[in-house]
A and B are shown apart, each in its own frame.
Chain A
């Protein structure tokens, strides 16, 4: 497949108003609403060339169907990385991850995926091939269309090529798993704002048994990823241990070999679904209010007799909250009411995973954003026939 062939296909679909569903690795299919119409499926998986690998410039240009694992393996040869931190990296594509606006746990340290995008080639609904940006790391020449496509859920254009800047990968990584005894959770999490060496990621986890490493204590568990040079890891380890000691957390299990894999299992668990028996919400809170908000969500789930598996990203304040039931009928009977009740408390909760048949009845995107009329006009300018992923995105965009 070539970019030109995508342009031809889209041009033809635009003429007869055929709806095009864009697919990458299908790893984030639990996000968004089901399409309103679906006439043609456009898979980007054949668009998988590394167009230009420029390690001396710390840049790389890839087609959108390149898998995240393929990219990271290539970059590792140069000692660099682009920390997308998206689930199921072996399947996920660069284009899909960006289009979905994925936000991972290490962004507080390295920046968001969008911050690494320096250029793009996109195909518009009418078949227009549009370049933006380039292969330089600083560029103020017109509107930043590349970033506009990021997070647009494929409703403005099909991302065909993405140019990225890369950064040096940290030389070493270490993972900590801590069981939290009674009365330690809040104190333990409060430590992270003050550590001199900021961890790359720090999670509070409850549930997700078997899927991620570590065991719950009376108040769940924590997993902490440290990255850096050997000297930094040593110091950060000392600091973390004494901070946890102050919080009354005694046990620490350290994983060096396999630390990154352990981290990736947690990221995978963000969207791990129990098929028709679960729905996972993502709530963007702050590090200083995520715990009380999480407790409120949990209390609500208990009222509905739903099981919960929880990941709190303590550095960014993200809450990943999975509710489930052992029985899919029982789950189906209460999920709609739970969804309403949850959005009363957390109007901006977004669904990121779960394959329940009545998904379209749930408040999948949460409260619509401000400036919606302008977003609708933007959609009309880029895709007047509404053929790209129709109905999938927020508020009908």
Chain B
């Protein structure tokens, strides 16, 4: 019945029902869920609307999916249902270079937008490391960041308006420039639990006239993180400020030969984009702080090629971990930037306590940590140690006044961790928003909210 109706509405080509197809959509980059009842690949907003209406009639939840690169189970069908892939909705619908904005479908790959606008010296700023495969819709769902959101801000700062298909299959627009509640802000970062984004107007930025990339090496992670805290405390916010420890740089060098030194305890990759006139003064100031905090070397990337190689290494760092361990788990927490040295110190201790290898490669300028914990999933004891150390890192972040997810989202993985940072009342307040848009809990169920969170009963208006 379900399959029949979906095929009638979307065509056989857009509906997958064979078990081997369904199995491919039970996963994301974090985990595996149940086998979905069906996978649909809509081509336009009308298709999406039809799927929502059919799903509602059949009592099936909908799990929206971009590229499936999420790291916390956000795209996994935890209780089954229909997986709705936006892979075929990947067009740029409107492009207005003079107004520096574009309207895109959610399945458009992040990097493809910047590629398409480069001829007008414009770019789309949010740049998660997955940007060559992840989609703008998925980025919106998790309010994705990336190295350059340090100065440009995360996805929410770059979304102007959204087209939404709601739980009744009806379409409405949000717009940050209209009076009324900022539903754009509510939807960005809501991980597909409020409705389905079928188009997004996004802001484009002018490509900077000058870009410089520097590499500073440090004897250890502590001195490097100390330098980061000092740079931020001096009021200097570079365009990007990334750190890699020795484990990470060695893996990256082995994989990419990107130009990272393999004998340093830690490296800082620093980029500043802006006006040529300021570059020398900027460089002097950051280099001075780095040296004061113990940097043993400082160099500037001399060419575009050298810059690109360093960035390719940084963005491919997670992939490069495959060289040192069969499996890795990446944690994502964010701490206050002044507490980075303490956070890194604690992570090192946690790794030692559990006899695990950890690599640190992260957005240091934001205080957004990504410890990569290496393991072998065939070793049950090691798996248990990974889970325990991941939890200890979460607790550490909370203890330092930080949060349990900086940019990957809560998804399925971290829903219970929400109670570590929010009270029951805080969570119930969020649930009020869910109640408005998804009272049946049909959109991406079993995500974000810990088990048992309810919003307060609202009495009918007399």
Q: Which residues of A contact B (CB under 8 A)?
A: 54-59, 78-80, 101, 111-112, 114-115, 124, 126, 128-132, 134-145, 147-148, 150-152, 156, 167-168, 193, 196-198, 228-229, 231-232, 234-235, 284, 286-288, 348, 350, 365-366, 368-372, 374-375, 377-382, 384, 386, 393-395, 397
Best-buried of B190, B232, B430, B435 by chain A (most CB within 10 Å) = B430
Instruction: Let me know if A134 and B278 touch, CB within 8 A.
Output: no
| Contact residue among B186, B209, B337 (Cβ-Cβ distance under 8 Å from A148) | B186
Instruction: Let me know if B338 and A80 touch, CB within 8 A.
Output: no
Instruction: Let me know if B436 and A101 touch, CB within 8 A.
Output: no
Q: Which residues of B contact A (CB under 8 A)?
A: 98-99, 142-143, 145, 149, 153-154, 156-157, 164, 166, 172-183, 185-186, 188-190, 194, 206, 209, 229, 232-233, 235-237, 275, 277-278, 281, 334-338, 363, 366-368, 401-410, 414, 418, 421-423, 425-430, 432-437, 448-449, 455-456, 458-459, 461
Report the separation of the CA atoms of residues A179 and B407 in the bound assembly, to the nearest whole angstrom. Answer: 48
Instruction: Let me know if A138 and B426 touch, CB within 8 A.
Output: no
How close is B356's CB to chain A, nearest CB, in angstroms?
25
How close is A294's CB to chain B, nearest CB, in angstroms?
17
Instruction: Let me know if A136 and B232 touch, CB within 8 A.
Output: no
How close is B180's CB to chain A, nearest CB, in angstroms?
4
The 10 closest A-B pairs by CB, nearest first: A147-B185, A369-B180, A130-B429, A56-B233, A371-B172, A56-B338, A231-B277, A381-B432, A168-B235, A138-B406
| Contact residue among A134, A168, A369, A395 (Cβ-Cβ distance under 8 Å from B402) | A134
| Contact residue among B145, B157, B175, B363 (Cβ-Cβ distance under 8 Å from A369) | B175
Instruction: Let me know if A78 and B235 touch, CB within 8 A.
Output: yes
A-B contact list, 20 entries, CB within 8 Å: A54-B338, A56-B338, A57-B232, A112-B157, A136-B402, A136-B406, A140-B189, A140-B407, A140-B409, A142-B448, A143-B189, A152-B182, A231-B281, A288-B98, A288-B99, A369-B178, A370-B178, A374-B183, A380-B461, A381-B435
How close is A277's CB to chain B, nearest CB, in angstroms?
25
Closest to A55 in B: B233
Instruction: Let me know if B278 and A128 touch, CB within 8 A.
Output: no
Instruction: Let me know if A142 and B410 touch, CB within 8 A.
Output: yes
Instruction: Let me know if A147 and B182 touch, CB within 8 A.
Output: yes
Report the separation of the CA atoms of residues A136 and B150 in the bound assembly, to the nearest whole angstrom. Answer: 12
| Contact residue among A78, A138, A150, A368 (Cβ-Cβ distance under 8 Å from B182) | A150
Closest to B278 in A: A229
Instruction: Let me know if B433 and A141 touch, CB within 8 A.
Output: no
Residues of A within 8 A of B145 (CB): 138
Instruction: Let me know if B185 and A130 touch, CB within 8 A.
Output: no
Instruction: Let me know if A138 and B154 touch, CB within 8 A.
Output: yes
How close is A394's CB to chain B, nearest CB, in angstroms?
4
Residues of B within 8 A of A130 (CB): 425-426, 429
Closest to B161 in A: A370
Closest to B152 in A: A111
Instruction: Let me know if B366 and A137 touch, CB within 8 A.
Output: yes
Report the separation of the CA atoms of residues A380 and B430 in the bound assembly, to the nearest whole angstrom. Answer: 14
Instruction: Let me know if B156 and A147 touch, CB within 8 A.
Output: yes
Instruction: Let me know if B410 and A140 touch, CB within 8 A.
Output: yes
Closest to A377 in B: B436
Residues of A within 8 A of B402 (CB): 134, 136
Residues of B within 8 A of A371 (CB): 164, 172-174, 180, 183
Residues of B within 8 A of A232 (CB): 275, 277-278
Closest to B157 in A: A115
Report the separation of the CA atoms of residues A234 and B337 in the bound assembly, to the nearest whole angstrom. Answer: 34
Instruction: Let me know if B410 and A141 touch, CB within 8 A.
Output: yes
Report the separation of the CA atoms of residues A229 and B337 in the bound assembly, to the nearest whole angstrom. Answer: 26
Given known pairs A148-B181, A368-B180, A395-B180, the reply for A140 and B237 (CB within 8 Å) is no
Report the separation of the CA atoms of residues A363 and B173 in the bound assembly, to the nearest whole angstrom. Answer: 22
Given known pairs A56-B229, A167-B237, A348-B178, the reply for A139 and B338 (CB within 8 Å) is no
Identify 16 new A-B residue pairs, CB closer than 8 A, beyond the known A140-B142, A377-B436, A380-B461.
A79-B235, A131-B426, A134-B401, A136-B367, A138-B407, A139-B405, A141-B410, A142-B410, A143-B448, A152-B182, A168-B237, A235-B277, A365-B179, A374-B437, A381-B432, A384-B458
